Homo-oligomer: A and B are copies of this chain.
């Protein structure tokens, strides 16, 4: 019989992290190549693993991300739990579990988290069973292990919806950014084009994006004003009154 507060891996519960990154150009997701790869030609996965019995789910997500990719100090947000008993069917997934897990046959449910970060502010360094950690543009992602494609897709949909209510766009930008960069983030996440003048008006009217006394440097055109996000002035999203 297992005990509550032991530092033991729980064979039935894992966490998976969808880390989305931005490099001024496109949205990428952080994937790991599993070690051992078994028969596979480099099977890719979201960074995830079993939880310990004495940590919260949030702590587990942070720890697992750190252990597999070296990335720490980012805000991870739970978005859905996946628990289809049939989520492990691929032969090479089963082989991999046999190689690394104490209870490879156990039914595992996984609590999924996402985060948005700026790619150039983090340097993934694979460890534990991650042979490699790479950024892959989200529309170039091929088949992932387990049900990780499904998890990634749901994360992308959720991020789109949360863009209106949470200040997540700013997590994809450096602390000081131009409005053009911010607009690009919105356009890429929403997969649409926005009018520059209307976008600026709307963003500035919210009051939580503040101009600095500072301009871009070394660009071959008129330098843009830099702006900052002011958390203290953020009160719950772009105001949307429904009634």
Contact = CB atoms under 8 A, between A and B. Distances in A.
Interface of A: 1-5, 10-13, 51, 53-57, 78, 80-81, 83-85, 88, 103, 105-107, 109, 111, 161, 164-165, 186, 190, 194-195, 198-199, 202, 238, 240, 242-243
Contacts of A1: 103, 105
A85 B243 contact: no
Contacts of A13: 12-13, 83, 109
Nearest to A183: B243
Nearest to A55: B85
Contacts of A55: 85
A195 to B, nearest CB: 8
B57 A81 contact: yes
Contacts of A80: 78
A226 B10 CA distance: 53
A88 B53 CA distance: 13
B194 A2 contact: no
Contacts of A161: 165
A57 B51 CA distance: 18
Contact of A109 (B57, B164, B199): B57
Given A4-B106, A13-B109, 14 more contacts: A5-B85, A5-B107, A10-B12, A11-B12, A13-B13, A55-B85, A56-B83, A56-B84, A56-B85, A57-B84, A109-B111, A161-B165, A164-B240, A190-B243
A198 B111 contact: no
A5, A83, A105, A186 pick with most chain B CB within 10 angstroms: A83
Nearest to A239: B242
6 contacts: A1-B103, A2-B107, A78-B81, A164-B240, A202-B243, A238-B242
Contacts of A51: 83
